[in-house]
Amino acid sequence: MTLCRRVPFLTFVVSPKRKVKINLSGCNFDCRGCFAIAKQEVGRALSVEELLNLLIKSCQFIYGEMIEDVQFTGGEPTMNTDYLLSLIRQLRELQVSKIGISTNGHLLGKDLVKELRSLDVNYIKLDLKAYHDKIHKWYTGESNAKVLKAVEILNRYGLNFYVRTIFIPDVIDFGEIEEIARFLSKINKGITYKIYQFSPEYVKNNISKRRPTEKKMLKAFNVARSYLDHVEFYTTNTAYKPDPYKCIEVRSDELLEDFKRIDEISKLIIKDWDMQYLTMNQILTS
Ligand code: SF4
C-alpha cells in the first residue's frame, strides 16, 4: 500500500540559516488556540517519493542545491509513523545531516523514541500545552498523560529535545508554567524549556483576547528559571531579532485562498513581515 499524507506547504528558511520545514497535515489534538492551517487534513496528497521529489526540486529552485537541515512539523508529524520513518530513512540516504521533529508528544511512546534514536534524529521539539490534566483536556481534547510520559522517555533514551509552552493569559498562565517547570526539573534540571507568547489575532475562537506583555513574559521566564537551568522566552519582538527571519513557502495550489487570511494577519502583527511564496505546481513544472 502506498503511504500518503496531505501536505499544505513546505517552508524554506533563507535567513538566518537555511533549513526546510515539512508541514504534514492532520492532528490528533484539537487545541482551542490552534491557528495551524495543517490541523485539518488539507493540502496535496503526496506519497513519500512524491514529497521527496518536491523537496529536491524546491531546494534546487530556491537554494541551487539540496538542503542538509530538515524539520518535520504540522499538524502532527507522528500521526502516520510509517510515513514519517520512511521519509527520515530516505532523507538520510540523500545525506541530509540534521533532522528534527516538532510534535505534541501524544504518540511519542517508547518504541517510536527508540526508532528515532536508531535513525539518529537530531532533535525533538515537544509541546507541553498544560500541566494540569483538566486544563490540558479542555484545551486540546486529550489527556496529557502520554505527553508527560514522553518527556521521561526522551530523557531516558538520551534524545536531544526541548519542551515548549505557549503562555496564554488566564488559560495557560503563570501557575501552569511553574508546574511544568517543576515537573521538568524533577526529571532533569538541564532540560531546555521555551515559553512562547500567545498571539490572539490568529485564533478564531476567543479563548483569550490578550497577548501577554513583555513584562509578563519576563516574569514567566523568571518563574521557570527558578527550577530549570535553561529557559528561554520568545515574543513577537524578540523572536525575529537580532537576525531577520526570511523564508519562502512552497504552497499547495489548492489552498491559496486560505493562505491569504493568514498572510493578512501576519502583516499586521509582525514588523517587517516579508513572506514570499511559490506554488507546488510552479516548482513541479519548472
Ligand atoms: S497540536 Fe498543534 S497542530 Fe495540533 S491542534 Fe494543537 S496546536 Fe494545532
Q: Which of 14-23, 87-96, 169-178, 265-274 has the lowest mean pLDDT?
A: 265-274
Q: Which residues line ligand 1 (CB under 6 A)?
A: 27, 29-31, 34, 36, 39, 74-76, 104
Q: What pLDDT score does 267 carry?
A: 80
Question: In whole angstroms, how large is the CA radius of gyration of the chain?
Answer: 19
Number of domains in the chain: 1
Which domain CATH number covers 209? 3.20.20.70
Residues 6+ apart with CB under 8 A from 128: 105, 144, 147, 148, 151, 163, 164, 165, 180
Report pLDDT for 97: 97
**Residue with CA at minimum distance from ligand 1 atom 6:** 31
Domain that holds residue 272: 4-284
The closest residue, in CA terms, to atom 7 on ligand 1 is: 34
pLDDT band, very low/low/confident/very high, at 200 (cuts 50, 70, 90): confident
CA of 200 to the centre of ligand 1 (A): 15
Residue of 21, 28, 29 to mutate, ligand 1, most atoms within 8 A of C-beta = 29
Distance of CA 39 to the CA centre of its chain: 12
Q: Which ligand 1 atom lies nearest to the CA of residue 33?
A: 7
Judge contact between 98 and 70, C-beta under 8 A.
yes
DSSP 123-164: EEEEE---SSHHHHHHHHSS-SHHHHHHHHHHHHTT--EEEE
The model's confidence at residue 243, banded by pLDDT at 50, 70 and 90, is low
**233: β partners:** 195
Residues 6 or more apart whose CB falls under 8 angstroms from that of 242 comprise none
Q: What confidence tier does 16 reach under pLDDT thresholds 50, 70, 90?
A: confident
Q: What is the mean pLDDT of the chain?
A: 93
Omega cis (within 30) before 75: yes
Residue 131 Cα to ligand 1 middle (Å): 16
Q: How many CB atoms lie within 10 A of CB 247?
A: 18
User: How far is Cα 85 from Cα 91, in angstroms, rounded to an integer?
Assistant: 10
Least confident of 46-60, 135-149, 272-286: 272-286
Element (H, E) at 74: strand 69-74
Average pLDDT of the residues in 5-24: 96
Contact criterion met (CB below 8 Å) for 140 and 30:
yes
Looking up cell 503563570 gives: 174
**Angle in degrees, CA 233, 147, 108, rounded to 5:** 110
User: Contact 11/21 with Cβ under 8 angstroms?
Assistant: yes
> Which ligand 1 atom sits nearest the alpha carbon of residue 74?
3
CB of 277 closer than 8 Å to CB of 250 = yes
Q: Tell me the average pLDDT across 83-106.
A: 97
Q: How high is the pLDDT of residue 198? A: 92
| Residue 209: predicted pLDDT | 81
Tell me the percentage of the chain whose pLDDT exceeds 90.
82
Q: Which amino acid is at 28?
A: N
What are phi and psi for residue 76, nearest 5 degrees? -120, 110
CA distance 122 to 15: 21
Q: How far is the CA of 75 from the centre of ligand 1 (A)?
A: 6
